[in-house]
Chains A and B, each alone.
Chain A
């Protein structure tokens, strides 16, 4: 069977699902919708529960939105052979790692079990951490030791070593994030040529964004040394590769870093004066790449992953609006937050 034939059903599913993605016009309208309209349009009944606290409603909505994403993930993952399914699951494992970070922070600051549980995402068995055992751990070290017996043993071991030496969550969470991206890259590199290039390109766009933002944050905001900054980064499979990162970490101002970037990134980020501006433009560029993969890629797997990443961004936008309304922020503030999260509408339209 040809690759195209083998992926026909997956491609059809992705195409059908991608009609759910927000159009630029809809995203513009999103900020103006009331809570009742949002609840009706997206089936978010928890929004209308007047008796619940704002925090409880916010958590319920976040959980509902995640469930929407996970349903899509499960539908798409079911259609894939094991090695390809593993890529989607590796990407979605970030939610299990969010839970892990919540558990670690909870244990670190001795929070009540209920407080910790309220902040955990409800995940399917394929992604879930062994919650019950981890809950019962009485401190961070015990928790990490227990995690070492699970599928997250690699992350857990390194995290424990970092924690034992530094005893602070920042380094530990950085180690977890670094492991997360490295494991995705490893999964992708194990795929055959049908998907390899498309996924390298797709994940490369995401890794470029992550690497540049982390570099700027660690080097300029946290004032880490070049060597320590470099160690925390994950080289991209596209522009910000190992050699370039080794060079970039030596610069200590935003302007010098931007000047040393490859031409395409340099043009994109020219005139950026702060990290949030860089973040906004990089988000736009990444989303543009995701759209392009979704529309043009020959790889069904890459299209599926691109769809999930875009869907995730859409749901994040929706959550921003809901949260903004719940916290009674002005429409201007909500729009600003949306802009940071989402892509430029005109550019999105161009990509589509």
Chain B
């Protein structure tokens, strides 16, 4: 789609309104380059953005505690002024200040529960210690005891530091990241040890007073404490909900306000101003410019200026590409996107990719039964993979169509009459078909590559660069010569001359554009020229795999039938089922990878740069 570069000049106070109008049209992709006018060097949206970010963060933190479940109707679109945003931010700050106390209480409950769990573990360990544990609870006149937890990574350093203060450190349990320890030393050195324990993250582990009671009773006691904590957590939830109930409406309004403020924040990086004049630039699809101007005229009360122009040649890489909007092509577009996004002006390969992918997949995995399973499974999973299930349905359907042509159903070749023939009946013909298919594929790919270069004005590149016109002529000469060699036994004079001339032209072009010492230039040009011959030969032969896999599919099915024949009735059925699953999963996966490889390496590398970026217009959040 043709794009226009637009430049909007508005009064700074009109920016929030302008941003909303632009967001409503959903056709404005911001251009973040600073304007050429040096005076436009202020960042009018920066303070607004910072306040918005803080308010949004506060709202997110509050709603993490108090989820907003009720849906709300989007009310009329209105401007959120900086003053309103500031007030909202302050209100949310005050709310979060209160809400964070609840969060802290939840965390304290978690910490207490963790400590009780540690105590339970400690209890088990104390039972094995052959000392009077009641002594550990209190300081004696001369000795002080510290029982507790310390992070394992601090253990050795703490052991040495405690030793310096005259204490002994004993480890009685080591867990994943914590160690349970006892530190014993003179009471008089407590002042020396305390700061070390503090920096080492030592956590005191209270020894149960009732140590002389039965372990089961103690355990019951600690379990009881955990139950109390669970109750406290429940009560805290209730308190939190009671506290939050009056604020729910306020929070929903805040959410709506922030949603309306978001467009201006998104525009921040593209905004520049000087005093009262603000500048905003972006990319708009050509057909949408008039609508954009109309919307701004309706929205803005103050004067504004909207200028549009075609993208300049050196701006091509900056122009976003509007993706093809088609539900059918959407899953194929996802696969194309893995390689890259079409640059502006470049042909979007998605439709061609979809057609060639399905043709190759179907031919390589042609089976009515297997195709139906793939299509059925994809349709069954449509709710789990809503963006991708159609891909499976189409691939399965293609497999089914080729299954009918080949007369193959779950590997059986005899049940269904073939509309064309089974691949194994004439493998040579299959290989020839694949070869012709590959030749057409490569020629079309080169032609598209040439077109893509011409469209951006790179005429020299379209003629001389790799996969350009000269390269294509060489390929055609190479093919003609190859055909002659196969049919008459001679390469032919004209193809030979054309191949040599085109190769020399390619070599001359490379020589001219290579900046290196003569020796290195000779080496590089010779290797590159040889590479051209080898690449085109190997790329063409690469398509033989299309027929090879169709033969492979039949051969694999035959192998499974042979195995099944060797079994009894039950074994026969099981082997057939497992064999078909094996074919579906393993061969299906391999075929998928092979087709992707052909598309990416033999196709995309010839005509698709993939270095564009997607059109992401400013819009109101949903």
Kindly report which residue of chain A lies nearest to residue B201, judged by CB atoms: A161
Contact in complex: B54, A162 (CB < 8 Å)? no
* A56-64, A203-211, A221-229, A286-294 - interface stretch: A221-229
Q: Which residues of A contact B199 (CB under 8 A)?
A: 162, 166, 171, 174-175, 228, 231-232
Most chain A beta carbons < 10 A, residue from B97, B161, B165, B195? B161
B:140-159 near A, CB below 8 Å: 151, 153-154, 157-158
- With the chains together, A226 CA to B193 CA distance in Å? 10
Tell whether A309 is near chain B: CB-to-CB under 8 Å.
no
Q: How far is the CB of B91 from chain A (nearest CB, A)?
A: 14
Q: Which residues of A contact B53 (CB under 8 A)?
A: 132, 135-136
Tell whether A261 is near chain B: CB-to-CB under 8 Å.
no
User: How many A residues have CB within 8 A of the partner chain?
Assistant: 32
Tell whether B50 is near chain A: CB-to-CB under 8 Å.
yes
Q: Which residues of A contact B11 (CB under 8 A)?
A: none
Q: Which residues of A contact B200 (CB under 8 A)?
A: 231
Bitwise, B401-415 to A at CB < 8 A (1) or not (0) is 000000000000000
Q: How far is the CB of B193 from chain A (nearest CB, A)?
A: 7
Tell whether B573 is near chain A: CB-to-CB under 8 Å.
no
Contact in complex: A113, B50 (CB < 8 Å)? yes
Tell whether A80 is near chain B: CB-to-CB under 8 Å.
no
Tell whether B96 is near chain A: CB-to-CB under 8 Å.
yes
Kindly report which residue of chain B lies nearest to residue A186, judged by CB atoms: B153
Kindly report which residue of chain B lies nearest to residue A139, judged by CB atoms: B100
Contact in complex: A162, B164 (CB < 8 Å)? no
Contact partner of B158 (CB less than 8 A), chosen from A114, A141, A231, is A231
Q: Which residues of B contact A29 (CB under 8 A)?
A: none
Bitwise, B191-214 to A at CB < 8 A (1) or not (0) is 011011011110000000000000
Contact in complex: A158, B151 (CB < 8 Å)? yes
- With the chains together, A228 CA to B199 CA distance in Å? 9
- With the chains together, A138 CA to B154 CA distance in Å? 29
Tell whether A246 is near chain B: CB-to-CB under 8 Å.
yes
Q: How far is the CB of B178 from chain A (nearest CB, A)?
A: 11
Contact partner of B161 (CB less than 8 A), chosen from A135, A138, A154, A228, is A228
Contact partner of A162 (CB less than 8 A), chosen from B158, B162, B201, is B201
When A138-B96, A158-B201 are in contact, do A227 and B162 touch as well, CB less than 8 Å? yes
Most chain A beta carbons < 10 A, residue from B61, B164, B201? B164
Contact partner of B195 (CB less than 8 A), chosen from A138, A154, A228, A246, is A228
Contact in complex: B165, A227 (CB < 8 Å)? yes
User: How many B residues have CB within 8 A of the partner chain?
Assistant: 31
- With the chains together, A224 CA to B58 CA distance in Å? 41
Kindly report which residue of chain A lies nearest to residue B189, judged by CB atoms: A227
Q: Which residues of B contact A105 (CB under 8 A)?
A: none
Q: Which residues of A contact B157 (CB under 8 A)?
A: 230-231
Q: Which residues of B contact A230 (CB under 8 A)?
A: 157, 160-161, 164
- With the chains together, A228 CA to B158 CA distance in Å? 9
Tell whether B12 is near chain A: CB-to-CB under 8 Å.
no
- With the chains together, A227 CA to B163 CA distance in Å? 8
Q: How far is the CB of B281 from chain A (nearest CB, A)?
A: 24
Q: Which residues of A contact B100 (CB under 8 A)?
A: 138, 142
- With the chains together, A218 CA to B581 CA distance in Å? 70
Tell whether A165 is near chain B: CB-to-CB under 8 Å.
yes
Count: A-B pairs, CB below 8 Å: 73
Contact partner of A158 (CB less than 8 A), chosen from B54, B154, B165, is B154
Most chain B beta carbons < 10 A, residue from A141, A166, A226, A230? A230
Contact partner of A231 (CB less than 8 A), chosen from B50, B97, B153, B196, is B196
The main secondary structure of chain A at its interface with chain B is helix
When A154-B153, A225-B192 are in contact, do A162 and B165 touch as well, CB less than 8 Å? no
Q: How far is the CB of A225 from chain B (nearest CB, A)?
A: 5
When A230-B161, A246-B160 are in contact, do A136 and B57 touch as well, CB less than 8 Å? yes
Tell whether A157 is near chain B: CB-to-CB under 8 Å.
yes
A:139-159 near B, CB below 8 Å: 141-142, 145, 154, 157-158
Tell whether A249 is near chain B: CB-to-CB under 8 Å.
yes
When A158-B154, A227-B162 are in contact, do A165 and B198 touch as well, CB less than 8 Å? yes
- With the chains together, A171 CA to B93 CA distance in Å? 29
Q: Which residues of B contact A145 (CB under 8 A)?
A: 107
- With the chains together, A132 CA to B104 CA distance in Å? 21
Q: Which residues of A contact B57 (CB under 8 A)?
A: 136
- With the chains together, A118 CA to B8 CA distance in Å? 31
Tell whether A250 is near chain B: CB-to-CB under 8 Å.
yes
Tell whether A242 is near chain B: CB-to-CB under 8 Å.
yes
Q: Which residues of B contact A226 (CB under 8 A)?
A: 164-165
Kindly report which residue of chain B lies nearest to residue A132, judged by CB atoms: B53
Contact in complex: B164, A157 (CB < 8 Å)? no
- With the chains together, A135 CA to B51 CA distance in Å? 12
- With the chains together, A158 CA to B57 CA distance in Å? 26
Q: How far is the CB of B254 from chain A (nearest CB, A)?
A: 16
A:235-294 near B, CB below 8 Å: 242, 246, 249-250
Q: How far is the CB of B518 from chain A (nearest CB, A)?
A: 25
Q: Which residues of A contact B201 (CB under 8 A)?
A: 157-158, 161-162
Contact in complex: A225, B50 (CB < 8 Å)? no
Q: How far is the CB of A28 from chain B (nearest CB, A)?
A: 39
Contact in complex: B154, A249 (CB < 8 Å)? no
Other contacts beyond A224-B195, A227-B162, A231-B196: 5, CB < 8 A:
A136-B54, A154-B153, A171-B199, A228-B161, A231-B158
5 closest A-B pairs by CB:
A136-B57, A227-B165, A231-B161, A227-B164, A161-B201
